[in-house]
Each structure stands twice: as C-alpha cells, then as structure tokens.
Amino acid sequence: MHIRVINPNTTSGMTETIAEAAQRIASPGTRITATQPDSGPVSIEGHFDEAISAVGVLEEVLAGEREGADAYVIACFGDPGLMAARELTRAPVIGIAEAAFHMATLISTRFSVVTTLGRTGIIAEHLLDQYGFAHHCRRVRAAEIPVLDLEANGDAALTRIIDECRRARDEDGIGAIVLGCGGMADLRETISDEVGLPVVEGVTAAVKLAEALVGLRLGTSKHGDLAFPRPKAFTGRFAHLSDLTPGS
C-alpha cells in the first residue's frame, strides 16, 4: 500500500517530521511518500495561506495519480483543498482535522483542540461545524505560537503546548485532546505522557484511517459532487490543467 502524505506548506523540515511520524505509525508493508508543493507559503496560518496552498495540494495529488498512490493525506489542520482533491481521484483523501475529530469521538465523549494561533483556532471551529463535530468539542485553545516555532524553537513550543493541554484537562471537562497542527505530528506520545489524557494527532490518525479504507476497498465516490472535474480550458498559469481527465 502506498500512501502519499502531502504537507501543504513548503518547509522541508516540517515535511520530514510529518514523514517520520507517518512511517512510524504505518503498518508493515505500507509505504509512505511525504511531499510538499514547489511553491506556496512556508507555513499556513490563515485563510489566505490556505487558499494559495490548496493549488499545490491538488498538483501533488495529480502527481500521486501518475505514481499510482493508493491513498492521500493532507497534512495541514485546515484541510486545505480537501474536497477538490477528492474530485481528482478514486483513492481515499483524508484531511488531518477531519481524521482527528473522528478518532477523538471514538475514545471520548468530549474533547478540546489545542492549536498554534488563535486565528487558526477560529478556522478549526469552522471545520468542527462543517464536519458535524462541534457538539463533541468543548473548546478550541491556542498556545499562541507561530507554526514555524515548532521547528525553530521546538523545546519552548512544546512547553507552551503542554501547558495549554494541562489547562484543557483541568478546565474543560474533557476525555481527550486533539492537536491542531500537522507540525505537531511527532509530539503526541510526549504530550499524552505529560498530561495523562489520550492525545489524538491528525497525521497519524489519517494514516491509520487511510489504511483502513484501502483495506476495505473503499474509495472516493465518483457520483455526485465528487465526480471527476469537467474538462475545460484553463488560462495563464493554470493552462497546464486544461482538458484535465483524471482517472482515465
């Protein structure tokens, strides 16, 4: 089984962190390929960053289709380009936020999300509503650290995340914590040990869900809104997408 894990930002160190966490959790025989777009933001910290990064995600899915990938993981907690990516392939495409929310509800009746910045916490709240998990989530909390601090100032960032997780445990009446950033992919076990609660991290959750869907031979439906895009002309910088025929 080949799972293509796409880091939607262009920071290679974060892609490596995501790749290592994904491969550690993967089953024997599952091959993880971690990729990132050639162009785009170095971190994703708002709606604008997500919009720009979504194009790179889609191009990475198209590249994966040429390589015969069995499933895809979009490794940013905003799940940028998720529905558009699903249009491009019959393979399962899983966003790490949606995966983490699903997993958290299987092990607890209430959870809180701990993310990086307050503004991205608002995006997580939108996703909770969109995916139908808002009533399971007590609170979305922010450690107020820039995403790239997870790479550049890892120890300090980890301390702030753990402190926020402890506050969530003590104040929110929850049974589990969801980590709200793909850059936290390698922190799950450390934080769980420190806080004493189950901690769900989206990259690892998405990899296991992808393995399950492939094992069940369940792929993205091509009936309705997730059917392949209608071929048409694109102009300018997107001319290479003209008359696109994925799945042919």
Mean pLDDT confidence for 109-126: 96
Classify residue 159: in a domain, yes or no: yes
Full residue range of the structural domain in which residue 180 is found: 97-202
pLDDT-based confidence at 152, cuts 50/70/90?
confident
Residue 101 and residue 198 in one domain: yes
Classify residue 19: in a domain, yes or no: yes
Residue 151: per-residue pLDDT: 84
Residue 40: per-residue pLDDT: 97
Classify residue 248: in a domain, yes or no: no
Residue 63 and residue 120 in one domain: no
Is pLDDT at 178 greater than 80 in this prediction? yes
Classify residue 16: in a domain, yes or no: yes
Residue 198: per-residue pLDDT: 98
pLDDT-based confidence at 154, cuts 50/70/90?
confident
Residue 16 and residue 62 in one domain: yes
Residue 118 and residue 193 in one domain: yes
Q: What is the rounded distance in angstroms from the CA atom of residue 206 to the CA atom of residue 59?
A: 20
Classify residue 247: in a domain, yes or no: no
Residue 176 and residue 186 in one domain: yes
Residue 70 and residue 59 in one domain: yes
Is pLDDT at 248 greater than 80 in this prediction? no
Is pLDDT at 153 greater than 90 in this prediction? no
Q: Cβ neighbours of residue 177 under 8 Å, at least 6 residues apart?
A: 111, 112, 113, 114, 165, 168, 169, 191, 195, 197, 198, 199, 200
Per-residue pLDDT tens for 42-69? 999 999 999 999 999 999 999 999 999 9
Is pLDDT at 114 greater than 90 in this prediction? yes
Both tokens of residue 67? 């390589």
Mean pLDDT confidence for 122-141: 97
Give the pairing type, strands 176-180 and 71-74. Answer: unpaired
Residue 101 and residue 89 in one domain: no
Among 163, 191, 157, smallest CA distance to 177 is for: 191
Please tell me whether residue 199 adopts helix, strand or coil conformation.
strand
Residue 101 and residue 91 in one domain: no
Residue 198 and residue 212 in one domain: no
CATH code for the domain in which residue 79 is found: 3.40.50.12500
For residues 188 and 199, the answer to whether their CB atoms sit within 8 Å is yes
Question: What average pLDDT does the chain have?
Answer: 96
Residue 225 and residue 170 in one domain: no
How many structural domains comprise the chain?
2
Residue 143 and residue 221 in one domain: no
Both tokens of residue 202? 């989206």
Residue 231 and residue 174 in one domain: no
Classify residue 66: in a domain, yes or no: yes
For residues 22 and 32, the answer to whether their CB atoms sit within 8 Å is yes
Classify residue 246: in a domain, yes or no: no
Classify residue 227: in a domain, yes or no: yes
pLDDT-based confidence at 185, cuts 50/70/90?
very high
